[in-house]
Amino acid sequence: MSTFRFIAIRILGAAVVLLVVAAITYALFMLLPTNPARAICDKPCTPDRLREVQAFLGTDKPWLAQFGAYLAGIFTGRTFGSGASVITCAAPCFGYSFQLHESVTELILSRLPVTASIAVGAAVLWLVAGVFGGTVSALRRGTFVDRAVMTVAVAGVSSPAYLIGLLGILLFGFVLGILPTSGYVAFADDPVGWFMHLILPWCVLAFISAAIYARLTRGEMLESMSQDFVRTARAKGLRERQVVVRHGLRTAILPVVTLFGLDLGSLLGGAVITEKVFSMQGLGALLIDAVHTLDLQVVVGFTLFSALLIVTANVIVDVVYAFVDPRVRRRA
Amino acid sequence: MSSPLLEVEGLRVAFGDAEPVVRDVSFTLTPGRVLALVGESGSGKSVSAMSVLGLLPPEARVSGSVRFRGEELVGASDDTLRAVRGAGIGVVFQEPMNSFTPVLSIGTQVAEAIRAHPTDLDRAAVSARIDELLRAAGLTDPERIRTAYPHELSGGQLQRAMIAMALAGDPVALIADEPTTALDVTVQAGILDLLRRLGRERSLAVLLITHDMGVVADVADELLVMRRGDPVEHGTVAEVFAHPSADYTRELLAAVPSLEARPASVGPRTSTATRPGGPDSAPASRDLSADASTDSASADVDDPSRASRQSVARLRDVAVRYSRRGGPTVSGIDLDLRAGETVGLVGESGSGKSTIGRALAGLVPVVAGSVEVDGSGLRTARGQRLRELRSRVGIVFQDPASSLNPRQTIGWSIAEPLLVHGTASAADRAERVRDLLTAVQLDPSWAERFPHQLSGGQRQRVAVARALALRPALVIADEPTSALDVTVQAAVLDLLAQLQDEFGFGMLLISHDLAVVRQLADEVVVLHDGRVVERGTTDAVLDDPQQDYTRMLLAAAPVADPVRQAARREAWRAWEGVAS
Amino acid sequence: MTANVVERPVASSGRATGFRAVVRRVRQDRWAVTSAVVIVVFLVVAVAAPLISAVTGQDPYGYDIDALNSFGAPKGFGGGISGEHWFGVEPLTGRDLFAIVTYGARTSLGIGLAATLVSIVIGVLVGVTTGFFGGWYDRVLSRVVDVIFGFPSLVFMIALTAIVPTSFPKPVLVVLVIGFFGWPSVARVVRGQTLSLVSRNYVVASTAMGAGRWHVIRTQLLPNLAATITVYATISIPSMIGAEAALSFLAVGVTPPTPSWGRSIGDAVGWVQTDPMYLVFPGVALFLITLAFNVLGDALRDALDPRGARR
């Protein structure tokens, strides 16, 4: 089928998934016993006051209307209340935090640079290290190099991020004292400081994911190098390096590419832990605080934003994969 | 006679610490001549050929001498080997679909072959050369092939592209490892013709590996027969076929099913007097005279004794369609199967023959016509009725490797039909399993063994036993011997014939191999593109085909007799251009 | 004379992968055996935690303020290691760290194993039936799997634990939540395997001879899926344990004072400089059990691979 149709169908599917996720999330958090109105009502909360708050929030309307208003808000912005005490939430409006007096979108955007710096930097590092390590292991299968890399990899896969992070802080921060142990410095303010503060988080995150990628790449390379077409490539008289890279790796890399795309999509989940370990005020910290203070608007908005990232990443991965692997195009 | 290009002497190959798989093999290749390495599975023929260019896995240990144009290749440096690969000796592999890298276009891969060796062609010149090579391989639209990916082409087209790629480096020798085994017989004829022609035109020394004696008779000048790693016989094709000196060679030749007309006095199921019994069977001792007298149905369709045989299955105007879009896979199919008789269903891949077999078992969506098994309609049967009908049909599949559940004992697999229909107690089932194992000439104590402990031929026998467990009225044998070595094949076919005599079931024998069908079938139905093209008694269809397609099938199938095959080749040439 | 063609087994079906053969192969791998031993030790410790408590005379709930100095940090070497407190004590509370670690094993292993069980059972059921039955059932459930994959699982888990009323037992909630987000990947893998099995001739033969669908699933599919499922389960367990620890680390897991390695590590963040052992003991325990399951899982996968070890 044509590429356009292929992409269109994927996007449509993604939109449906997002809608379902949004509905379930909204239902769970806004319509459950924990009454959002009660959460922002001052103490003591008189019944009159409660009714006022509900009207303000719009939670006195039927379920479907609430959800509809929420969805509409994402595209057109939303206003709470009326008259003197009106609060506007500009589009796209994922909710408004009454405790922090900012719209969820603004909150997310202000914290995004932190999380993005950590995630993207680490991602590049782990992709390169993992694929390289896995390939070398596969080509030198059974030798000391292979065993060493795989041992480190299995240790990496077994180590929780926070553990490695804390050990890293202990070693490089306190014992050796060469790296800062917490906090984030904006790139615009101080590029060197930005870099120094990120080295440890990058290495920590990359170590664990590189381990996963190394194991995966090794398995895929072993599989692909044992295929008939690799023998054909050799029989043509190609240099071994050409055979490995153009034929073996090119075929083996496909599942790795898929996984990378999906990992980028779920970076929000991984960020949460890293930020706590390194005491960085990123999106993860935002979520944890919101959970502890029961700021449900933030919780719901954050969840949806995260889902949006995941679903978008899935679509992109599908499309990229179709370009990269010609066999899929035919089946599609 | 030109001097040898490649001299192999005392070749010995072992994997790791295991027993050598090739022992003391010697042969030479001379320009313009084709040498065939022939053997069954495990003979070491492929390993021998691959060891010439060092294309074996790293665990392989090669010793002996392989000299190409005077240069020793065994233990040579990587650079030396690389210079020879592609430029000195080109290779054509067996499964073209797996031998091309799936993510690169054909043009890219052929261009690599060209550029792998020193050349001063620029990009445009390389493209032109690719087109030239593809055309020389018989592909008429090289521009399209160049930009296509492997999965977009057919097996025949891919194999031609592979041949083009192998010639890209202007080699003086060619190694072809079972180049046509995975292809339909009409496509095979074209590829073999191409190889022969290119070999003559370019004075290539060709090493052809094959298990098919017909292919040897068609293409080769010399042959070397191998068995379990040892060379058995070496000589020119004319000599060896006419006067084989080794017992094994004789056995191989005798086991090949004969495509051509038998002496008129014998009935359809010819004697096995010239064929030895199979590996684990008792010596075949079938009484010919008794057969000949009761087998009055040799050529006469209207023989009353035949018509009076009970019908076990009937297809009337059947059409099968898998997906909602597109045309039906098969349509307008009429078939009559009677007790004690065999109908051979012949066709190439994609003809729909397997689909028809499955329609009789109720496994595919039949959208038109009627399917009757043992007198009852299959299309309308549901639940209990469907189960009963299914118990009247037994199926034997093609691939012995996947016919039996690897996690269950073969006794369990044979008894499964009994278990499913809840007819017998455990003790009864065990006894029936023993009876069946004996009937298929296997040791009854093997019931506790697992499939991986059996060979391919033995597994097929187990599959036959399972098919017979419920005493079916109809047995569907879907390419039952295609995946087996020729000697084993002969034994399994004999077994099927014998069992049919004994139990009297009707059999639908599906095969692409006309010679196999000739051995067993009373009636032949030829299928092409989902429709019946011709039908009649075996002798009628195979000796005097009426339809062009049938004639083409017959002409394309190689026969294991060099003199006859030379004549047949000329006849096939008359059809050239029809097959692609 | 019949030429004796001793037919050797066809290589494509590979080596024996029955239970005994697999155990034999795993036993030959020293690291796998060591891992198995480690796992057994942890299991025993988890089950016998109260007994061990009785022996050491310490339990994870008893405060021991004497062991702390005026800042709340443990006195003495290694965070207060002594004859009484084998792993030292917890800062600010003086609770015995050894007891916390041993009881923590119950939390981690208990929740990890239970969550794995939940996700495997649901995942296999869905995977096999969608792969085998196909049709609209398959399409619908595949959409469901897509939706669940669309959820940011860790984020959602955190959020869920916030809103569920505290009357609902936390450990059960954690098991359900982790298990719920785990089954779709199992289902996908099992479905893929089932699809490739469904076209094998022995499965087709079974249907052709009149077998009912559940007979086919039970006798043909499941035994051939057992290898994949076993390996996947063994590799899932450390993920589940890790997920529970992560939740506890973020202080949204099991409620205090139930001991949990994750929470101890989380609390240790602020004490890394003054009392690193508070981090090390639970951290090493978590690392060891995760490593052991991973190594064992790898060994199992190699032993079960019909084409032989690809190590």
Contacts of C150 in chain A (CB under 8 A): 17-18, 20-21, 307, 310-311, 314
d(CA B179, CA B163): 9
Interchain proximity A158–C287, CB inside 8 Å: yes
**C interface toward B at CB cutoff 8 Å?**
1-10, 12-18, 200-202, 204-212, 215, 219-220, 223-224, 226, 306
Contact with chain B for residue A142, Cβ under 8 A: no
Residue B579 is given by DSSP the state: B
Q: Is the dihedral of CA C259, C260, C265, C266 positive or negative?
A: negative
**Cα angle value C239/C242/C245 (rounded, 5°):** 155
pLDDT at B580: 37
d(CA B71, CA A43): 96
Contacts of C7 in chain B (CB under 8 A): 279, 455-458, 488
Residue A169 is given by DSSP the state: I
CA dihedral A306, A312, A313, A316 (to 10 degrees): -170
Contact with chain C for residue B406, Cβ under 8 A: yes
Contacts of B151 in chain A (CB under 8 A): 326-327, 330
How many helices (DSSP H) and strands (DSSP E) are in chain A? 15, 4
Contacts of C245 in chain A (CB under 8 A): 160
Reference B522, options B504, B503, B545, B541; nearest CA is B541
C265 has a pLDDT exceeding 70: yes
Q: Which amino acid belongs to residue B262? A: R
Contact with chain A for residue B274, Cβ under 8 A: no
Residue A323 near residue C168 (C-beta atoms within 8 A): no
Residue B457 near residue B278 (C-beta atoms within 8 A): yes
Tens-digit pLDDT profile for chain A (332 aa)? Answer: 567 887 888 888 888 888 888 888 887 776 665 566 666 666 677 777 777 777 776 666 777 777 787 788 777 777 776 666 677 777 777 877 877 878 888 888 888 888 888 888 888 999 999 999 999 999 988 888 888 898 889 888 888 888 888 888 878 877 777 777 777 777 777 888 888 888 888 888 888 889 989 988 998 898 888 889 999 999 999 999 999 999 999 888 888 888 888 787 777 777 778 888 888 888 888 888 887 787 778 888 888 888 888 888 888 888 888 777 777 665 43
pLDDT at B499: 93
d(CA C58, CA C53): 5
Å between C211 CA and nearest CA of chain A: 32
Interchain proximity B99–A231, CB inside 8 Å: yes
Neighbours of B564 (CB within 10 A): 15
Say if residue B250 is exposed, middle or buried (CB neighbours under 10 Å; 0-12, 13-18, 19+). Answer: middle
Q: How many CB pairs under 8 A join A and C?
A: 130
Cα atoms in the Cβ-side hemisphere of radius 13 Å centred on A213: 29
pLDDT at A197: 84
* Close Cβ partners of A44 (under 8 Å, ≥ 6 residues apart): none
Residue B488 near residue C7 (C-beta atoms within 8 A): yes
Contact with chain C for residue B395, Cβ under 8 A: yes
In sequence order, what DSSP letters do the residues of B545-556 get, joined into one string? Answer: --SHHHHHHHHH
Phi-psi region of B267 (alpha: psi -120 to 50; beta: other; left: phi over 0): beta
Q: How far is CA B180 from CA B94, B149, B198, B211, B575, in A?
A: 7, 21, 16, 11, 19
Interchain proximity A17–C250, CB inside 8 Å: no
Residue showing tokens 């879907």: B478
> Which B positions 409-438 lie with beta carbon below 8 A of chain A?
none
Contacts of B398 in chain C (CB under 8 A): 201
* Close Cβ partners of C254 (under 8 Å, ≥ 6 residues apart): C107, C111, C170, C171, C174, C244, C248, C260, C263
Block means of pLDDT (10 residues each) for chain B, length 580 residues? 83 90 93 93 90 90 92 90 92 91 93 89 91 92 92 91 94 93 88 91 93 92 93 93 92 87 40 40 36 39 57 90 81 90 91 89 88 86 86 89 89 92 85 92 91 88 93 92 87 92 93 90 92 92 89 88 88 65
pLDDT in tens, A77-102: 777 766 666 777 777 778 778 778 78
**C interface toward A at CB cutoff 8 Å?**
143, 146-147, 149-156, 158-163, 165, 238, 242, 245-246, 249-252, 265-266, 268-269, 272-273, 276, 279, 283, 286-287, 290-291, 294-295, 298, 310-311
B116: closest chain A residue by CA: A238
pLDDT at B282: 38
pLDDT at C306: 61
pLDDT at B412: 93
> Which A positions 27-66 lie with beta carbon below 8 A of chain C?
28-29, 32-34
Full-model pTM: 0.82
Contact with chain B for residue A224, Cβ under 8 A: no
The span from the first CA to the last CA of chain C, in angstroms, equals 46
Residue C266 near residue C248 (C-beta atoms within 8 A): yes
> Which A positions 262-301 lie with beta carbon below 8 A of chain C?
266, 268-270, 272-273, 276-277, 287-288, 291-292, 294, 296, 299
* Close Cβ partners of A270 (under 8 Å, ≥ 6 residues apart): A119, A161, A205, C154
Q: Pick from C250, C286, C298: which is nearest to A163 by CB?
A: C286
Report the SS3 class of residue A178.
Answer: coil
Interchain proximity B82–A324, CB inside 8 Å: no
Contacts of B85 in chain A (CB under 8 A): 234-237
Q: Pick from A157, A160, A270: which is nearest to C245 by CB?
A: A160
- Where b means 16+ CB within 10 Å and e means fewer, C281-297 reads bbbebbbbbbbbbbbbb
Q: Pick from C150, C252, C279: which is nearest to A310 by CB?
A: C150
Contacts of A159 in chain C (CB under 8 A): 287, 290
For residues C145-166, give the mean pLDDT: 79
d(CA A179, CA B147): 54
> Which A positions 149-188 lie with beta carbon below 8 A of chain C?
154-155, 157-160, 162-163, 166-167, 169-170, 174
Lookup: tokens for B275: 């064929």
What subunits touch chain B, counting only 3 or more CB pairs under 8 A?
A: A, C
Contacts of B395 in chain C (CB under 8 A): 205, 208-209
pLDDT at A131: 93
Residue A271 near residue A115 (C-beta atoms within 8 A): yes
Å between B362 CA and nearest CA of chain C: 7
Suggest the residue from B95, B112, B167 to mutate for an interface test with chain A (most A CBs closer than 10 A). B112
pLDDT at B297: 38
For residues C248-264, give the mean pLDDT: 84
Å between C287 CA and nearest CA of chain A: 6
Task: Give chain C's largest Cα–Cα span.
Answer: 98
C8: closest chain B residue by CA: B455
Name the helix (H) or strand (E) containing B209: strand B205-210
* Close Cβ partners of B13 (under 8 Å, ≥ 6 residues apart): B20, B21, B22, B44, B47, B48, B51, B56, B60, B61, B62, B63
Interchain proximity B86–A235, CB inside 8 Å: yes
pLDDT at C308: 52
Suggest the residue from C139, C158, C173, C274 to mutate for an interface test with chain A (most A CBs closer than 10 A). C158
In sequence order, what DSSP letters do the residues of C234-268 get, joined into one string? Answer: HHHHHHHHHHHHHHHHTT-SSPTTS--HHHHHHHH
Interchain proximity B277–C2, CB inside 8 Å: yes
pLDDT at B288: 35
Contacts of B416 in chain C (CB under 8 A): 206, 209, 211, 219
pLDDT at B261: 58
In sequence order, what DSSP letters do the residues of B75-101 get, joined into one string? Answer: T--HHHHHHHBTTTEEEE-S-HHHHS-
Interchain proximity A326–B151, CB inside 8 Å: yes
Suggest the residue from A223, A226, A236, A330 to mutate for an interface test with chain B (most B CBs closer than 10 A). A236
Interchain proximity A162–C286, CB inside 8 Å: no
